[in-house]
Homo-oligomer: A and B are copies of this chain.
């Protein structure tokens, strides 16, 4: 290890220390072997003894060397280690030639300039105290801007004091499961498989309940569930709207309802129907997200909760992530305040309406509700169809792929993620392949 001369340009002590560390890590010097005394090594290297003493002490403190008064320094016994190998974790977000993902907005329309402006305002105006841990339930600034926005655009009875901020809606769901102590939860079947995974990881048992043309079959919800997870304005992946009768029946059941409002801002035939939460604010926990409105990577979600769940939810936040990053909360508050979020929403809604019409025209078989970012194309053999399409570079989802029980097969075709020309090309290619 001393074959190479020390470089006069760099601190000698650090060079000695790092070379010793490397050789000890490498296992080149077996455990128990005695090293040169500090005096001899200093002489051999032609450096002051103090430098070697400091290096030995540093390595002893790190556990590589054993130093004993009056004894020669010896190499400590380290457990055998396999050298770190590169292992890339599984990466679920894939990009395809034909992007028909039902869970993504058009990311090329993300208002970068507006978001950057909002971030600048946040970083500039934030008080020093805003840079600390922050409130687990969300920053007051955002809660006071978001609540009126949700009231105005989704008819939520949103009191800022019960409006919470989370790391996306997936996180909001797991926080709610803990806050309300949910053990068994009724979930639409089919419904998004990621959602079920998050609920199970939070400790809830999933009870699938059938979805028909009127939405969740409320009378089939077992009496012993603690909660019901439902997307009244637009179920995934069937795109069914919960009928007025079912909405009333669901609320009449009493018991906690979690309303997952993932993309109901996108209604194309008339103004969106008010959130179910407004019918029973003490019974319905409303959950929404910036993923479809702006971009998933912002990891911003929100909830409007029955009063009794506010403090438990704040606790569950503190115990999972402590709080959501403050500067991004201030930026979203700024975006709402400036009306930039409303402008963005109007702009993308118009674009998505055209794209939805395009898919309906090109694929007469396509069915789906008047809300959301995707349509459904019935197919007999879903899994083989998906396999064939994915092999050809299509990114899209399937109905049965999101179902635990029996249901008809179908392709879930997202029309928002791709530009009109790309969408037209993808849908025509799809048609020829069916």
Contact = CB atoms under 8 A, between A and B. Distances in A.
Given A62-B278, A320-B171, A119 B123 contact: yes
Contact of A297 (B92, B170, B326): B326
A337 interface: no
Interface in A283-312: 283, 291, 295-300, 307, 310-311
A122 to B, nearest CB: 9
Given A299-B322, A319-B197, A155 B62 contact: yes
Contact of A135 (B93, B95, B136): B93
A161 interface: yes
A324 B307 contact: no
Interface stretch (A245-253, A375-383, A408-416): A245-253
A271 interface: yes
Interface string A132-146: 111111000000000
Contact of A299 (B93, B123, B278, B321): B321
Number of copies: 2
Contacts of A155: 21, 62
B321 A321 contact: yes
A320 B174 contact: yes
A83 to B, nearest CB: 9
B159 A86 contact: yes
A279 B182 CA distance: 42
Contacts of A135: 89, 91, 93
A381 to B, nearest CB: 29
A202 to B, nearest CB: 8
A330 to B, nearest CB: 10
A103 to B, nearest CB: 8
Interface string A87-110: 111111101000000001001101
A81 B281 contact: yes
A300 B321 CA distance: 10
A16 interface: no
B327 A297 contact: yes
B271 A58 contact: yes
Contacts of A58: 270-271, 273
A423 interface: no
Interface of A: 14, 21, 25, 54, 58, 60-66, 76-79, 81-82, 84-93, 95, 104, 107-108, 110, 112, 115-116, 119-120, 123-124, 128-137, 155, 157, 159-162, 164, 167-168, 170-171, 174, 178, 194, 197-198, 200-201, 241, 244, 247-248, 251-252, 254, 270-271, 273-274, 276, 278-283, 291, 295-300, 307, 310-311, 313-316, 318-328
27 contacts: A25-B278, A62-B273, A62-B279, A63-B276, A63-B279, A76-B244, A77-B252, A78-B279, A85-B159, A85-B161, A86-B159, A88-B161, A90-B311, A115-B123, A131-B295, A133-B296, A168-B322, A194-B322, A197-B318, A201-B316, A296-B322, A297-B326, A299-B323, A299-B324, A300-B325, A320-B321, A321-B321
